[in-house]
Amino acid sequence: MTAITEVPGQLDPSAELPWWQGAAIYQIYPRSFGDSNGDGIGDLPGITARLDHVARLGVDAIWISPFFKSPMKDFGYDVADYCDVDPIFGTLADFDALVHRAHEFGIKITIDQVFAHTSDEHDWFVESRQSRVNAKADWYVWADPKPDGSPPSNWQSVFGGPAWTWDARRRQYYLHNFLSSQPQINAHNPAVQDALLAAMRFWLDRGVDGFRLDALNFLMHDLDMRDNPPAPDDGRRKTRPFDFQLKLYNQSHPDILNFIKRVRSVCDEYGAIFTVAEVGGDIAETEMKAFTAGQEHLNSAYGFDFLYAEALTPQFVAQAVAKWPDEPGLGWPSWAFENHDAPRAVSRWCAPENREAFARVKAMLFASLRGNIIVYQGEELGLTQVDIPFEQLQDPEAIANWPLTLSRDGARTPMPWQAAEAKAGFTTGDPWLPLGEENMSRAVDRQEAEADSLLDLTAQLLRLRRFNPALRIGDFTVLYADDEVLAVRRTAEQQTIVGVFNLSAAPVPWPDALGLGGLIMACVNQASIGGLPPYAGLWIEE
């Protein structure tokens, strides 16, 4: 089903470029990657033990989702201590061992920094809520009620309901854009900024190579606390009060840019440190470009273009990538088809009977994009979305909005390492989420034994991307896009590679506009110059 032709004479462009430019990054959700102690929850030693898999895959870096001390009400995105490891994941010594081992493999380490909010169990908030005059009284967003006792503004939480909770000790409301147990940081306060930057230095001093800044556009609020206006009817289904507003004042404050400059300054002190902003929302593209403009801001931005798209179509791909042309001063994009918050792509984008073929063309298309590509754990295996029954749900958003919100748990299920093992080699205990029977057959050991597996294909495609400048750093031009076929050209350093993809479940003729020349570097699903079977794709060096 797959053919790869090695193209000799190409050099690894990472030797002359920042390591992160054009990188392939592997996202690890630590609760679900590898469990070393049998408690059913993945941990840092479990990641270290499985780094050989990541190294064989050939990625440049890993991104580890939060492992910090936390009550786990939002599974680590509610941080109780920015500078410590939660005991369920291990210790600081375990983290140091992970960094050391990854660097031995030549793998960089990036970690999440969740700065927009903390847990309500963080020492900062515990002190802040005690009174209006203590040393950290202004470290969170507090506000008096309106004369009628109602919240200071109409802002709504992402997870449902008002974004304000009353606190009797201060006789004030505190802001939370997510769970009520995730109080909003007051990042307008310079002392708070200093503390957040100190946390970054803590991890930089331990050898971290980069950061993903979670929910960065939520970092600062409108100081006048003006009400958000209602959102116009755009035809999309609204399942939460949050969806009924234009989020003009609870997020996206222009002063976020000044904090970003401080982040960049700290990271520049440590050398080639990679910074990527997670940015969602109605004006994501505008904010992503502002957060990454020039040399004073972040290196890259991580958007949601593909994560919730209902279909992968040629026009959609062309439109998404066109937002990030190779122009002076414009930031560098980072792309993901899957992550810990979004449903598995093979379950969203094709019929069950086509998943094997589709996963191959998806992998080739993904490796063709200009920018950084972030592979979510299990994507290289073709894992599908697991249907988690309500009584086994862990995701607070899914529980609160059941059944109208698709559970994030279905994409967070444990990695299947060994097909014949009862717990798929993930744990010896009871896994915190069910593995999903269908995914057991896609286990790592089974695919390692197959010469033409999706795992093998993914590693080969990533190797070609790494060693061919056109694929890693070249410019990106759409040559052809109709309802079924997408053709793109990547060009760099006198090398040109054309990618042609049939994104439909039916065979299609070769577009006359593309011509018939060139050397086939790689093809999937019997693609050839002149013929495109269902979900076929190929790379041609011109």
Q: What is the rounded average pLDDT for all residues in the chain?
A: 94
CA distance 464 to 448: 19
446: tokens are 């089974």
Residue of 96, 268, 269, 482 marked active site: 269
Cβ atoms 143, 152 nearer than 8 A: yes
Predicted TM-score (pTM) of the model is 0.96
Q: What's the pLDDT at 403?
A: 73
Q: What's the pLDDT at 9?
A: 43
Distances (CA, A) of 168 to 3, 120, 478, 488: 66, 15, 58, 59
Res. 1: pLDDT tops 80: no
Cβ atoms 244, 230 nearer than 8 A: yes
Res. 15: pLDDT tops 80: no
Q: How far apart are the first and last CA of the chain?
A: 23
Name which residue leads in pLDDT, 109 or 388.
109
Q: What's the pLDDT at 399?
A: 79
432: tokens are 């915190």
Q: What's the pLDDT at 5?
A: 61
Identify the helix (H) or strand (E) that includes residue 277.
strand 274-278
Beta bridge partners of 2: 524
DSSP conformation class of 85: E
Please compute the mean of the pLDDT values over residues 331-355 and round it to a whole number.
Answer: 96
Q: What's the pLDDT at 402?
A: 78
Q: What's the pLDDT at 10?
A: 57
* Burial annotation 60-88 (CB, 10 A radius, 16+ → b, else e): bbbbbbbbbbbbbbbbbbbbbbbebbbeb
525: left (phi over 0), alpha (psi -120 to 50) or beta: left
Residue of 43, 78, 120, 214 marked active site: 214
Residue 12 known to be catalytic: no
Counting Cβ atoms within 10 Å, is residue 171 exposed (0-12), middle (13-18) or buried (19+)? exposed
What digits encode the pLDDT tens for the residues 376-392? 999 999 999 999 888 88
Res. 8: pLDDT tops 50: no
Distances (CA, A) of 230 to 131, 223, 234, 260, 404: 34, 20, 12, 29, 21
The identity of residue 128, as a single letter, is S
What digits encode the pLDDT tens for the residues 29-71? 999 999 999 999 999 999 999 999 999 999 999 999 999 999 9
What digits encode the pLDDT tens for the residues 430-484? 999 999 999 999 999 999 999 899 999 999 999 999 999 999 999 999 999 999 9
The torsion defined by the Cα of 515, 520, 521 and 527, in degrees rounded to 10, comes to 90
Asked if the bond preceding 403 is cis, omega within 30° of 0, the reply is: yes
Res. 140: pLDDT tops 50: yes
Q: What's the pLDDT at 295?
A: 93
The identity of residue 53, as a single letter, is H
Cβ atoms 405, 384 nearer than 8 A: no
Q: Which of 231-240, 253-262, 271-280, 298-307 has the lowest mean pLDDT?
A: 231-240
Beta-carbon neighbour count of residue 320 at 10 Å? 17
CA distance 471 to 122: 44
Q: What's the pLDDT at 509?
A: 95
Q: Which of 156-170, 344-358, 385-399 has the lowest mean pLDDT?
A: 385-399
Give the contacts of 21 (CB within 8 A, at least 6 positions apart).
Answer: 14, 332, 372, 472, 473
Query: Which domains are assigned to the chain?
Result: 22-116+190-225+264-395+404-465 (3.20.20.80), 117-186+226-254 (3.90.400.10)
337: tokens are 């088809």
What digits encode the pLDDT tens for the residues 89-101? 999 999 999 999 9
DSSP conformation class of 529: T
Residue 74 known to be catalytic: no
Please compute the mean of the pLDDT values over residues 517-536 and round it to a whole number.
Answer: 94
CA distance 512 to 380: 33
Residue with tokens 């002392």: 191
CA distance 188 to 538: 50
Q: What's the pLDDT at 536?
A: 98
Q: Where are the alpha helices (DSSP H) in 241-292?
A: 256-269, 284-292
SS (H, E, C) 449-483: CCCCCHHHHHHHHHHHHHHCHHHHHCEEEEEEECC
Distance of CA 103 to the CA centre of its chain: 22
284: tokens are 């994501």
Identify the helix (H) or strand (E) that includes residue 488.
strand 485-492
